[in-house]
Chains A and B, each alone.
Chain A
């Protein structure tokens, strides 16, 4: 970044004493354009010594996926994005038959159960119930008076969302793959933590009269940022970062304008 060409230094007009063109020893003041010495590269030093980087929604150590970062002035946009309360999409992989203390497959084993009675229909029924109760919570925490006409109209369009702090809410959940003992779910949620998602997997196991642990949590979308915008480790260099920022800028601006 520091090697990039920087702005040309400001010019100023100073009256400099120069020897008069007409000879003699008298000095005259002639206005000349001279660069400001304070902005000379040797005086200033490298332009960037520290970068202010802020992080978006948290992603814990065992999870992977899209992680939004803001640089410099972008940190202000981060708070705006947080206040938009957009949903995040996770792909969660689970395994039936085990129960551990921290709900993931690396924890201490508590119990093993049979799971051959579980079918895809049973899983989908449980998922429908989870969606139903969370939909109710969505409407309740959005703090809109249910007796008004605008609440009805927002509910029809599906735009009712809690705009303040609220407990984790799942807006949509469905089963992507089901191959006993493994299964994969796609979860759209708000205000959640990855540990909460692992707990959901554990509770699904309990509801199906068995037990389940979570093997993989991967965030595939965070508000407007999808997997396509995200940079993999091989692309963590200046040029791709700049390109990515440029591509996302428009999306972020439209989203913030739409919501706030």
Chain B
């Protein structure tokens, strides 16, 4: 018996240099095409039914390694930092050309209104095979693409100037070929963030520029009008080196290198109630929270969250904040107990590494690569497999180590490394 065992052939499934592959997982509402799987909307066999909601993570096959993803209101952008010709893919709603012009195959003069599959977005780059796309961001009906040497490209709806170009009356945005390029900032732009109808640009020197709709003060420029040219923000952040900006609805947060957080914009849901009683703040104000040095901030529609250096998550605002159904609104940040993220005496080195916000959902990534979500489960966007709202952080089972996640209104996209 022993000789038979030793003579048995040895199989090799993975060599020593086996690399971990990068994958993209999507889940949420699929009828808008934002998930990028056409068989969910138009099944490929007659007897199959269309899948309206994908409640658990579903793998999306992409040609290239995706380095950055962003979810807008019903559409998604995926970007890879290659030097090939195709660098950005988009899928979902395209009624305002937020995914550029997608030529329809049936009628060559018209474009698609709903893009069901990740389709390449042609950017008017000068050095097409040298420039790399660093980051993408999506708002309600517009999107921004950040490149390393050719500035920022904007496309989509410009009725409030959020694309950074002059507002043209009665402009028709659908099937438009126009992609605007923004270059004049004080230094290189390192982060672009889209709010609902406004855009924020953070430059290398630590200053923040804004343009777009300002009726809630979300442009932070001191007035409530719309701006069509990116203008530098002053207020409490003048001279401060900002290292991160975040926005998704009408409120904005910025984090400085010293761990302070500044906020401006809509405050109807007590997001900025710690400094002011007014419901709109149009100048960035420092939020005096004594919770420690802040590393990252995330702004949602009605609730905000920050991540401190120790890896603790603090939430405030209105809505499902993550501390049970009893906590609906608070103006002062409340900490979410780390035991909900898997911390225990057994695993005491687990801490939260990143935090992201959708419109009424929150997502947290731990240093072990686990994804926790909580908030309103709109059309299955949390990915838990259930349709109920989640009142405290809940794990999403993804077959891999989650590297990044992008939250939208009713869908989410995650970038995962396989085991």
Q: In the complex where A117-B16, A125-B419, A149-B324 touch, is A131 in contact with B389 (Cβ < 8 A)?
A: no
When the two chains form their complex, are residues A156 and B12 in contact, meaning their CB atoms are under 8 A apart?
Answer: no
- When distances are taken between beta carbons in the complex, the residues of chain A under 8 Å from B394 are 136, 139
- When distances are taken between beta carbons in the complex, the residues of chain B under 8 Å from A135 are 342, 395
Task: Decide yes or no whether B178 CB sits under 8 A from chain A.
Answer: no
Task: Decide yes or no whether B13 CB sits under 8 A from chain A.
Answer: yes
Q: In the complex where A128-B369, A149-B326, A155-B392 touch, is A117 in contact with B14 (Cβ < 8 A)?
A: yes
Q: Which of B10, B13, B326, B389 contacts A209 (CB 8 A)?
A: B13
B183 → chain A, closest Cβ, in Å? 43
Task: Decide yes or no whether A174 CB sits under 8 A from chain B.
Answer: yes
Q: How large is the interface on A (under 10, 10 to 19, 20 to 34, 35 or more residues)?
A: 35 or more
- When distances are taken between beta carbons in the complex, the residues of chain A under 8 Å from B5 are 109, 112
Chain B: how many interface residues by the 8 Å CB criterion?
38
When the two chains form their complex, are residues A128 and B13 in contact, meaning their CB atoms are under 8 A apart?
Answer: no
Task: Decide yes or no whether A2 CB sits under 8 A from chain B.
Answer: no
Complex Cα spacing A116 to B15, Å: 8
Task: Decide yes or no whether B346 CB sits under 8 A from chain A.
Answer: yes
Which chain B residues numbered 304 to 353 have a C-beta less than 8 Å away from chain A? 323-326, 337, 339-340, 342, 344, 346-347
Q: In the complex where A147-B391, A207-B419 touch, is A113 in contact with B370 (Cβ < 8 A)?
A: no
- When distances are taken between beta carbons in the complex, the residues of chain A under 8 Å from B397 are 129, 132-133, 136
Complex Cα spacing A34 to B9, Å: 86
| Closest A residue to B336 using CB positions | A156
B57 → chain A, closest Cβ, in Å? 13
- When distances are taken between beta carbons in the complex, the residues of chain B under 8 Å from A27 are none
Q: In the complex where A117-B14, A135-B395, A136-B397 touch, is A147 in contact with B388 (Cβ < 8 A)?
A: yes
| Closest B residue to A116 using CB positions | B16
B238 → chain A, closest Cβ, in Å? 41
Task: Decide yes or no whether A126 CB sits under 8 A from chain B.
Answer: yes
Contact mask for chain A residues 134-174; partner B; CB cutoff 8 A; 1 contact, 0 none: 01100100000011110111011110000000000000101
When the two chains form their complex, are residues B340 and A147 in contact, meaning their CB atoms are under 8 A apart?
Answer: no
- When distances are taken between beta carbons in the complex, the residues of chain A under 8 Å from B15 are 117
Total A-B pairs, Cβ < 8 A? 94
When the two chains form their complex, are residues B389 and A128 in contact, meaning their CB atoms are under 8 A apart?
Answer: no
When the two chains form their complex, are residues A114 and B419 in contact, meaning their CB atoms are under 8 A apart?
Answer: no
Q: In the complex where A117-B16, A126-B419 touch, is A152 in contact with B323 (Cβ < 8 A)?
A: yes
When the two chains form their complex, are residues B342 and A132 in contact, meaning their CB atoms are under 8 A apart?
Answer: yes
Q: Which of A112, A125, A155, A158 contacts B8 (CB 8 A)?
A: A112
Task: Decide yes or no whether A120 CB sits under 8 A from chain B.
Answer: no
- When distances are taken between beta carbons in the complex, the residues of chain B under 8 Å from A39 are none
Task: Decide yes or no whether A111 CB sits under 8 A from chain B.
Answer: yes
Interface CB pairs A-B, < 8 A, 9: A114-B10, A114-B12, A131-B342, A133-B395, A136-B395, A153-B324, A172-B344, A207-B419, A208-B419
A residues apposed to B, CB below 8 Å: 97, 109, 111-114, 116-117, 122, 125-126, 128-129, 131-133, 135-136, 139, 146-149, 151-153, 155-158, 172, 174, 188, 207-210
B residues apposed to A, CB below 8 Å: 4-5, 8-18, 323-326, 337, 339-340, 342, 344, 346-347, 368-370, 388-392, 394-395, 397, 399, 401, 419
Known: A109-B8, A125-B419; 17 extra A-B contacts, CB below 8 A, are A111-B11, A113-B11, A114-B10, A114-B12, A116-B16, A117-B14, A117-B15, A117-B16, A132-B370, A133-B395, A136-B394, A136-B397, A146-B390, A152-B324, A155-B392, A156-B337, A172-B346
